[in-house]
Amino acid sequence: MEKRAYSRYCFAFLLLGGLLLLLFIWNVNSGSVSLSVKEIFQIIFFRRGEETAYNIVWEIRLPRILAGIILGGALSVSGFLLQTFFSNPIAGPFVLGISSGAKLVVSLVMIACLEYSYTAGSGVLILAAFFGSLICMGFILLISRKVKRMSMLVIGGIMIGYICSAITDFVVTFADDSNIVNLHNWSMGSFSGMSWENVAVMTTVTAIAMIAAFFMSKPISAYQLGEVYAQNMGVNIKVFRIMLILISSILSACVTAFAGPISFVGIAVPHLVKNIFKTAKPILVIPGCFLGGAVFCLFCDLIARTVFAPTELSISSVTAVFGAPVVIYIMIRRQKTI
């Protein structure tokens, strides 16, 4: 590897790491109850402090921040994998309707559980979301066999997303009134109300999927030259495609199960990260995307929480504001080069 490229990669990782640290501190420090930096420092590192403040930091802010980091990272990596799979720069779990599919099945499961007054655990929700993701992924794969143009595939995905969202709305309308509020919040996308148990489950799931994704960087980079060349480099295409679908579905399912559907992170972050690194090498971009997604989501969550405090925005509205322009930019640039 060349020295210049090497130092660029180091710089990129340091930049993302630094931003993450900065946003972490900023997030812990902001909220409706203002706490001094010193207080927070003591609460986190020495577990000392006044009880309300202690609870705010440990039970509300920290789990939320960690969820933002993990889920944001998971979402971006999932987007990157889908873009590789479809060789389409604007593919992502949200535009392809995969998040909405997950949302639909999760709400069905939630409502069913509420009917029998049983609270669904994280594991059940992830399974439901995973199941929903795979169903939509199946449809997308069927469409992708028929259409070759990237825009058509995305339109197909958006339509599937609409159908799933419509059914979700329909189901939610007929659900028990008292539970709607909660469900409604979730279906809009939010990092709020995370428990440590949630964080533990999502960390485990994401960590396993991330390790698997990282060790697939070699076949992924072969696949970037197209299926046939990848096969000629010794990649078992069938196994590879299944793995890629499973990992990206697990990652996006994990996000949807806990935070609901979150738009644009999956497209915008991989694109930005590739531009910071000036390469699309998966071995760098996969960890880069994780960090980048974490930074992006923490930043958006900070805005969602604080700009109109005490009213909270849905996370998707904020990610859309920053993510959608990136998508438009990618499309315009692609148009030029083709």
Q: In the complex, which residues of this chain contact another protein (CB under 8 A)?
A: 87, 89, 215, 217-218, 221-222, 224-226, 228-229, 231-236, 274, 278-281, 283, 337
Short-list 106, 95, 204, CA closest to 156: 95
> Tokens for 137?
């992924």
Closer residue to another protein, CB minimum distance, 10 or 307? 10
Short-list 327, 276, 321, 330, CA closest to 299: 321
Closer residue to another protein, CB minimum distance, 171 or 283? 283
> Tokens for 257?
């199960």
| Min dist. Cβ of residue 231 to another protein (A) | 6
| Min dist. Cβ of residue 213 to another protein (A) | 12
Closer residue to another protein, CB minimum distance, 229 or 308? 229
| Min dist. Cβ of residue 94 to another protein (A) | 21
Alpha-carbon distance of 84 to 149, in angstroms, equals 15
Closer residue to another protein, CB minimum distance, 40 or 285? 285
Alpha-carbon distance of 136 to 231, in angstroms, equals 27
Closer residue to another protein, CB minimum distance, 86 or 130? 86
| Min dist. Cβ of residue 142 to another protein (A) | 17
Closer residue to another protein, CB minimum distance, 7 or 195? 7
| Min dist. Cβ of residue 7 to another protein (A) | 16
Alpha-carbon distance of 154 to 160, in angstroms, equals 10
Alpha-carbon distance of 270 to 73, in angstroms, equals 10
| Min dist. Cβ of residue 268 to another protein (A) | 15
| Min dist. Cβ of residue 18 to another protein (A) | 23
Closer residue to another protein, CB minimum distance, 215 or 329? 215
- Neighbouring residues of 88: CB distance < 8 A, sequence distance ≥ 6: 150, 153, 154
